[in-house]
Amino acid sequence: MTGLDVPLTPLRFLERAVEIMPDKIAIIDGQRQWSYREFAAAVQALAKALRATGISDGERVAYLASNSAEMLIAHYAVPLARGVLVTVNTRLSAAEVEYICGHSGARMIVGEIELLRSLRDAGCEFATIDDWIELPAVDGLFTVPSEFHSYDAFLTRGRGGDLRWEIDDETRTLAINYTSGTTGRPKGVMYSHRGAYLSALGGIHHSGFGQETKYLWTLPMFHCNGWCTTWAVTGALGTHVCLRAVRAESMWSLIDEHQISHLNGAPTVLTMLANAEQAHLLTAPLTITNGGAPPSPSIIAAIRGLGASIVHVYGLTETYGPYSICEPKPEWNELDTEHHAELMARQGVGMITANRLRVVRPVLSPEGELIDVAADGAEMGEIVMCGNSVMKGYYGDEDGTRKATEGGWFHSGDLGVMHPDGYVQLLDRAKDVVISGGENISTIEVEHAILSHPEILEAAVVGVPDDKWGERPKAFVVTASGAQLHETEVIAHVKSRLASFKAPRSVEFVNELPKTSTGKIRKNELRDAEWSSRPLMING
């Protein structure tokens, strides 16, 4: 930095909000509310307590909590203390939490009582952790007697005047977010203050956040720091409405009560909203930013039918969450519903705060540079990204960082095509493509064809062993309540929309699909069960 440059940090968003609208409601968590003035005071109290406990200059603080006011406060307080926030997936096993805390070297773990107890009961050893802090329940109360330090008691450790809402170096690590680890040990993805600031601005612009925004927390804050929306809503001077458990009834209740204007989520959240008993035509504008997996054209059409609008984004943990957006074009509004939904299901172009999105071939040029695929919507390649919206690197893993950023671009492992209009479409994860008799079959394409059936709610397609073809596609399907479908009907429906060789050879009807905490279907579990010939217990 030179001259009058000031390091970028999302901490500034909260300072600015207090300057402009100190008395506006910033957070709603059940019956509890915080104004922006109270929000900032709570952040200062926690940051000073952290400093008094020795958290500063890159020390890591782990949080194991659902979407709560205290979790949101931590997104400002930990970096304000110059610590590093490590938000942990609440659905992980005790052993996985133990690994993440150990790998990150967390000095403290803050969490909800049931989650902390599960770690203690499992006999986990946390060599680096000095303090266990219990967060209050949704009503603000604690268990009595507590096995851990209470959050309120911890706050009394803080002393002195307020800390300055600034940072000395915008490349400082603000947070470490761990990947799902479905193909091995999870990796710790490092976010910088600069990257979080810019990614939050991208969210403000593309999701259309403003002063009237009432944002419902359907997306876990522990996932990519809520796609940086923890900072974006504050930057827009909006209101955070916390939701600790994502259920259709709760979502619709809060949407109606607070006239929710925005929420984020994976396609499974859209499916839950559209097919809930409480579903009805919206009385106020609602923008849903969808990511995590490509939405099917049919669910996009269903959400639009409720009166909501869809913002479709694409990204990974390594890209602060959303990196690209399917930027709608005015002429698309003249198209029929099905064609419009097909275009909106694409992953699109780089966001305003990101670089362009590329699709490249597996071989480098003679000069050692990446080569783009033809923009014909047919040639498949790997999606790569670079710039401020890409991670600093993997914590404690230089080799992994080097491999992931070969050629100066982050390699996503996702396969897609580039359309003539410059929009990217994701076809599959490299590991999910089914190669049957030498033909590449996109499981996403097959899933979208299945989901176009009016009586099917969810679908997952994976490759399973086949003596003749090597592997073949198999579909796992969740039907609407009361639907009576046969395997042959589903296969015939797919063949009416796609080439016959792409259709699943078998269909298994299940009550639910295994999912991550953010609503992504765990295809690895389905695939592993088939290849190991183990029965998959998803009906019980």
pLDDT in tens, 153-182: 999 999 999 999 999 999 999 999 998 755
Q: Phi and psi of 501, rounded to 5°?
A: -70, -15
Please indicate, yes or no, whether the overall pTM of this predicted structure exceeds 0.95. Answer: no
Q: Determine the Cα–Cα distance for residues 10 and 148; give it in Å rounded to an integer.
A: 31
Q: Determine the Cα–Cα distance for residues 139 and 426; give it in Å rounded to an integer.
A: 43
Q: Determine the Cα–Cα distance for residues 27 and 234; give it in Å rounded to an integer.
A: 10
> Would you give the distance in Å from CA 395 to the centre of its chain?
19
List, in sequence order, every residue forming a beta bridge with 60; answer none if it has no partner: 84
Do 199 and 230 form a contact (C-beta atoms < 8 A)? no
Do 505 and 434 form a contact (C-beta atoms < 8 A)? no
- Token pair listed for 201: 């601005």
Report the topology of domain 434-531.
Answer: GMP Synthetase; Chain A, domain 3 (3.30.300)
Could you give the residue range(s) of every CATH 3.30.300.30 domain in the chain? 434-531
> Would you give the distance in Å from CA 453 to the centre of its chain?
27
Q: Crossing angle for the helix pair 36-52 and 69-80, nearest 10 degrees?
A: 60
Report the topology of domain 26-191.
Answer: Rossmann fold (3.40.50)
Per DSSP bridges, beta strands 131-134 and 108-111 are parallel
pLDDT in tens, the chain (540 residues): 556 889 999 999 999 999 999 999 999 999 999 999 999 999 999 999 999 999 999 999 999 999 999 999 999 999 999 999 999 999 888 988 999 999 999 999 999 999 999 998 988 889 899 999 999 999 898 877 778 999 999 999 999 999 999 999 999 999 999 987 555 688 999 999 999 999 999 999 999 999 999 999 999 999 999 999 999 999 999 999 999 999 999 999 999 999 999 999 888 889 899 999 999 999 999 999 998 777 788 888 889 899 999 999 999 999 999 999 999 999 998 988 888 888 988 999 999 999 999 999 998 889 889 999 999 999 999 999 999 999 999 999 999 999 999 989 999 999 999 999 999 999 877 778 787 766 678 888 899 899 999 999 999 999 888 877 778 899 999 998 888 899 999 999 999 988 788 899 999 999 999 987 667 788 888 988 888 764 444 433
Q: Determine the Cα–Cα distance for residues 417 and 346; give it in Å rounded to an integer.
A: 10
Q: Determine the Cα–Cα distance for residues 21 and 179; give it in Å rounded to an integer.
A: 36
Query: How far, in Å, are 62, 85, 211 from residue 106 at the CA level?
Result: 6, 9, 36
* Amino acid letter for position 239: T
Could you give the residue range(s) of every CATH 3.40.50.12780 domain in the chain? 26-191
- Token pair listed for 151: 């959050």
Q: How far apart are the first and last CA of the chain?
A: 58
pLDDT tens-digit profile of 24-44?
999 999 999 999 999 999 999
| The predicted structure's pLDDT at residue 141 | 87
Do 107 and 129 form a contact (C-beta atoms < 8 A)? yes
Q: Determine the Cα–Cα distance for residues 421 and 337; give it in Å rounded to an integer.
A: 20
| The predicted structure's pLDDT at residue 533 | 60
Query: How far, in Å, are 34, 202, 290, 355 from residue 17 at the CA level?
Result: 13, 18, 27, 29
